Amino acid sequence: MSMRTRSDRDERAVAAEWETGADEPTGPGVPCPPAPKTVVWASLVILLAVNALFLLANVAHAMGDGREDGLLGIFAPVAWEGDYDGSHIEVWGHIQLFAAAAILAVLARSYRSFLLGAWGFALFVVVVDDLFQIHEDVGEVFAEMFGFNAAFGLRPEDFGELLTWAVLGVLVLVPLVIGYVKAGAWERRQSWIFVAILILLAVFAIGLDMLAIMLQGHVPGPVLRAVALAETAGEIIPMSLFLAFTIKLALAPGRLHTAR
């Protein structure tokens, strides 16, 4: 009987996910607000369009090869290079992740959801790590502390960075596990979507980054630039997915209360 009750609640939560709410005013002269699904998809399209513009600027920077003359001269500054720390597209990614973390913090407080708060904390850690280059600085310390050696085309500091990411991973994993255990079925389902997006981000931000380092000196420059562009695109798109998905959660009325 208890299993059936949980299933019924879960189904009601899913049904409520895209409803606009019965308490909204309707009638002549009252504008009809856009459906939540429309807002979410519009937000995602806008975010991806901005991403595309930054990526095109990255390509223009590579084509101009840093020259300030000609049509591509406006993209000569290295800040248009996505692989550069502090680049325009990197800052844009930080803004998206920070916005997603802030939305999750508000939702966690409003619905007393430890799991959503843990995800907000996880995204905040990602932003802080990338913004202050923690994995690079601490990675160098770890490399010297543990005496890592170069191997597989990776430098000692690269292994230090991997260890730093592992430590940060444990830091965010503990509250996520605690929140998952305490959460209801609806929150757990949403959490797996966050996991999928995070894995996608890690594949490009860590995996492709390490691959680019291993390829240096073994492949032509254009190939390295293509890999760097793929890494940049593979990082910025999941960041947009994080923000769009948190917007979806914020616009789905009564979801957490119905799921509990």
What residue numbers bound the domain in which 190 lies?
93-259
pLDDT tens digits, 213-237: 999 988 998 999 999 999 999 999 9
Mean pLDDT for all residues in the chain? 87
Residue 10: inside a domain: no
Q: Is the pLDDT of residue 255 over 60?
A: no
The DSSP call for residue 206 is I
pLDDT tens digits, 132-173: 999 999 999 999 999 999 999 999 999 999 999 999 999 999
The phi and psi torsions of 77 (rounded to 5 degrees) equal -55, 140
Residue 166: inside a domain: yes
pTM: 0.86
The first and second tokens of residue 55, run together, are 């990526």
pLDDT at 2: 40
Total number of domains in the chain: 1
| Burial class of residue 180, CB neighbours in 10 A (0-12, 13-18, 19+) | middle
Residue 223: inside a domain: yes
Residue 87: inside a domain: no
178/201 Cα distance (integer angstroms) = 23
- CB 139 within 8 Å of CB 157: yes
| Closest by CA position to 246, among listed 203, 197, 202, 184 | 197
